[in-house]
C-alpha cells in the first residue's frame, strides 16, 4: 500500500496538522529579530520561507529530495539556489543563520556528527527542531501512529521509553534520542534555548523540541 504524499500525511488537517505546524510557529517566533542570509538543511518544499519573520537577503536550500520535496520547491521557487544532496560535504559558504526542521533525526548517527560540525562552521546561529522519540510522549506516539511506520520490538519500545536508545537499532526516526543529540550539539555550540513544541512544556513532555544555539566554530 502506497503512503500518502508527505504534505498530505502531515498537513492535511486535524490534530496531526496542528502538531506538525508547531515547528513553523516556533521558527517564526525565533526569527522575529533576525535578518540576513539563511541556509536550510532539509528544506523539502521550502515551506519554512512562509514562516520566517524576515525576508532573507540570500537563501540556499539543501535536501535529499525524498518523496520529491525538492522538485516541489523548484516549482514554487525557481529563482532560489536549491541543492539535491544527503552529504554534509554539500554545506559550503557563510550565512547569518542555518535552520533545519525535523531533518537531522533521519541522519545516521556517525554522519550526523559531520552534519553538526558543518552547520557550526556555516553560520553563527542555528535553529533546529527534532522530534521527541523517547519518554512518555514517545510511548503514546508509537501506540497511535496511523501508519505504524517504525517497527519496534517490545524490548526496543521499553528501551526507547526509558531513553536507553543505545539498545535500539537506528532506522530513520527509530532510535533517535534528542538528549543525546543535545550533547553532540554542545561539542560545537553554546545551547541558548531549548523549547517544547508545540506546547511550552519541558522537552521530555513535548511532541518536538526547538533548539536555538550559537556556534563556537564559525569564523565570519
- The domain spans of the chain are 6-131+191-215
pLDDT of residue 12: 65
Locate cell 533545519: which residue?
A: 100
Q: Which string of b and e fits 31-67 if b means at least 16 CB within 10 Å?
A: beeeeebbbbbbbbbbbbbebbeeebeebbbbbbbee
Q: What crossing angle do the helices spanning 135-144 and 154-161 adopt, rounded to 10°?
A: 140
Question: Is the pLDDT reported for residue 24 higher than 60?
Answer: yes
C-alpha cell belonging to residue 38: 539563511
More confident residue, 116 or 109: 116
Considering the four listed CATH numbers 3.40.50.1000, 3.20.20.70, 3.30.365.10, 3.40.50.150, the one that applies to the domain covering 6-131+191-215 is 3.40.50.150
* 210 vs 193: CA distance, rounded Å: 8
Question: What end-to-end distance do the CA atoms of the chain give, in Å?
Answer: 49
Q: Which string of b and e fits 93-125 if b means at least 16 CB within 10 Å?
A: eebbbbbbbbbbbbbeeeebeebbbbbbbbbbb
As a whole number, the mean pLDDT across the chain is: 90
* 21 vs 14: CA distance, rounded Å: 11
pTM for this prediction:
0.92
pLDDT band with cut points at 50, 70 and 90 for residue 85: very high
> DSSP code of 16?
H
10 Å Cβ neighbour count for 167? 12
Amino acid at each position: 500500500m502506497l503512503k500518502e504524499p508527505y504534505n498530505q500525511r502531515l498537513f492535511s488537517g486535524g490534530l496531526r496538522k496542528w502538531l506538525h505546524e508547531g515547528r513553523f510557529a516556533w521558527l517564526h517566533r525565533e526569527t522575529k529579530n533576525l535578518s540576513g542570509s539563511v541556509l536550510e538543511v532539509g528544506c523539502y518544499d521550502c515551506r519554512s520561507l512562509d514562516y520566517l519573520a524576515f525576508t532573507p537577503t540570500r537563501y540556499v536550500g539543501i535536501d535529499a529530495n525524498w518523496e520529491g520535496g525538492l522538485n516541489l520547491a523548484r516549482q514554487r521557487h525557481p529563482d532560489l539556489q536549491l541543492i539535491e544532496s544527503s552529504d554534509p560535504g554539500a554545506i559550503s559558504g557563510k550565512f547569518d543563520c542555518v535552520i533545519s526542521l525535523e531533518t537531522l533525526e533521519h541522519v545516521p548517527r556517525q554522519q550526523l556528527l559531520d552534519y553538526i560540525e558543518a552547520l557550526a562552521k556555516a553560520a553563527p546561529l542555528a535553529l533546529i527542531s527534532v522530534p521527541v522519540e523517547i519518554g512518555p510522549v514517545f510511548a503514546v506516539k508509537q501506540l497511535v501512529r496511523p501508519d505504524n511506520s517504525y517497527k519496534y520490538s517490545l524490548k526496543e519500545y521499553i528501551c526507547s521509553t526509558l531513553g536507553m536508545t543505545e539498545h535500539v537499532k537506528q532506522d530513520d526516526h527509530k532510535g533517535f534520542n534528542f538528549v543525546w543529540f543535545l550533547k553532540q550539539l554542545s561539542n560545537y555550540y553554546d545551547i541558548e534555548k531549548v523549547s517544547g513544541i508545540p506546547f511550552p512544556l519541558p522537552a521530555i513532555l513535548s511532541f518536538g523540541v526547538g533548539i536555538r544555539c550559537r556556534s563556537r566554530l564559525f569564523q565570519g
